[in-house]
Structure 1
Amino acid sequence: MWFLSWIVIGLIMGAIARAILPGRAAGGWFVTLVVGVIGAIVGGFVGRAFGADPNQHFWSFSTWFWAFVGSLIVLFVWGLIAGRRRT
């Protein structure tokens, strides 16, 4: 069940991360949402590595915070990878 909640949160956090890093990511909104879902899952693993419990429940601040951090990380890395391809 936690995986499904990370997907939903990732869709939202991907859009928010794209708004914060608008020029960094190549691709359209679909790519941003997919990157957001991957970022939310990565954020969950990163949060656990730092000793947090990002899988408390859907409305937990920790869950949303780590999904946001993971989405920013993955979106930034995606922007670096896609930026190299364009040039």
Structure 2
Amino acid sequence: MIWSLIVGALIGVIAGALTSRNSSMGWIVTTVAGLVGSFVGQALLGTWGPSLAGMALIPSIIGAVIVILIASFIIRALNNKK
């Protein structure tokens, strides 16, 4: 369980760095984005490539990038309505 959280946080940090949106997220949101992104990426792309803690790294990072982009788009849209 702890290992999954650590790997999820690492995936979230990598995805945040790739999207240049890492500075606006806290470590909890980064970890959640990594874990949710891992689920999304593996559901869409499968479980190929290297894996840690039961998470295929490449599909997980791609999934986390997708989750972060969608979340930032929604947050930006909500902030513009105010």
TM-score, length-scaled by structure 1: 0.68
Deviates most, 62-71 or 34-43 = 62-71
* Contiguous gaps of at least 5 residues in structure 1: 49-53
Q: How many residues align?
A: 77
**Greater relative contact order structure (CA < 8 Å, 6+ sep):** 1
Q: 1:68 to 1:83 in 2, by over 3 A?
A: same
Percent identity reads 23
Q: Which residue type is aligned with residue 22 of structure 1? A: S
Identify the match of residue 40 of structure 1 among 38, 41, 49.
Answer: 38
Structure 1 residue ranges (4+ consecutive) displaced by more than 2 angstroms after TM superposition: 4-10, 22-29, 55-59
**Cα RMSD after superposing both structures:** 2.9
Report SS of the residue matched to 2:73: helix
TM-score, length-scaled by structure 2: 0.72
**Does residue 59 of structure 2 align to residue 66 of structure 1?**
yes
* Contiguous gaps of at least 5 residues in structure 2: none
